[in-house]
Amino acid sequence: MTAMIIGAHLSIGKGYPAAARQAVSLQLDGFQYFTRNPRGGAVRALPESEVQEFRHVVETLGLKANLAHLPYTVNMGSDDPRLQDFAVMVVRQDIERASALGTPFLVAHPGHFGQAGVEAGLMQVANTIRMALEGAPTDSVFCLEVMAGQGREIGGRLEELAAIMSLVGDKAEVGVCLDSAHLFAAGWDVRNHAGIDELIETIDATFGWERVKVMHLNDSKVPLGSRRDRHELIGQGEIGLDGIKAIVNHPYLRQLPMYLETPVNGDYKRYQQEAQLVRELVRG
């Protein structure tokens, strides 16, 4: 049986090589990072020396899979032309950065639809992806994240992701990132294998299981179907320890690289403890 890959979201404030070394010190198999300040600001220059050092550290220390995350300031579904242009620019810059760093996946929230409605929002997300990825490096897969579906958020329904991928067509490869807390809040009961089986069957019928590349592993602070995005520490939320155990032992889900995004509030030692807890939940 293939060993599970478990990582966590770390800061790159001290540089990419330092983050990679920290991941190893926390006994993680990989890590997720924001390519820039998630709340705004320009992206800092990335010296070639830092790129090469990062790649060397990842290879020599044996990190298995890393994951880049688009900043929250990007709204690919906006009907504001300025925000549309900004989204295209950031997606393009970040897929190029992920490629340079050897990061196999770049995850993005689809965004929120505007006054024109959800259908127009889906079309705009697809347009952003097509324009941003045209001629871009293809060694990092751009992944849309499944969302909780709060308010005007796009991606709370699997059919919305399928529609976006259909509109993008063969212009770019688009993958999917699952999130246990988002799925639970969107109404998918992932606390047992029957509920997970139903989810996977629906995914396969909607856009194909082969699109699913990675997963965020989080407990949920809010109840099933609440349509709110509130992460909780592993085993301390509404999904609970038995639910997390069902997720990490499911034959399909356990094949995905999983990344913790739980509210450790900068205490990354908690990630080490949670990763160890998850490994203990996995049947040998």
What's the pLDDT band for 237 if we cut at 50, 70, 90?
A: very high
Q: Evaluate if residue 85 carries a pLDDT over 70.
A: yes
Quick one: pLDDT at residue 170?
83
Task: Name the burial class of residue 245, with classes exposed (0-12), middle (13-18) and buried (19+) by CB atoms within 10 angstroms of its CB.
Answer: buried
Tell me how far apart the alpha carbons of residues 198 and 157 are, in angstroms, rounded to a whole number.
14
Please say if the pLDDT value at position 172 is more than 90: no
Give the mean pLDDT of the chain.
96
Beta strands in the chain (DSSP E): 6-9, 30-34, 67-69, 105-108, 141-145, 174-179, 212-217, 219-220, 231-232, 258-260
The whole model's pTM is what? 0.96
pLDDT number for residue 171: 73
Q: Would you place residue 153 in the very low, low, confident or very high pLDDT band (cuts 50, 70, 90)?
A: very high
Query: Quick check: 284 pLDDT over 70?
Result: no
**Considering just the CA atoms, what is the radius of gyration of the chain in Å?**
18
**Bridge partner residues of 68 (DSSP):** 33, 106
Q: What is the mean pLDDT of residues 171-183?
A: 94
Task: Quote the CA–CA distance of 266 and 12 in Å, as a whole number.
Answer: 12
pLDDT of res. 39? 75
Q: What pLDDT score does 43 carry?
A: 82
Domains of the chain listed by start with CATH number: 6-281 (3.20.20.150)
Residue 1 has pLDDT above 80, yes or no: no
∠ CA(224), CA(227), CA(232), 5° rounding? Answer: 65
Average pLDDT rounded to a whole number, residues 208-235: 98
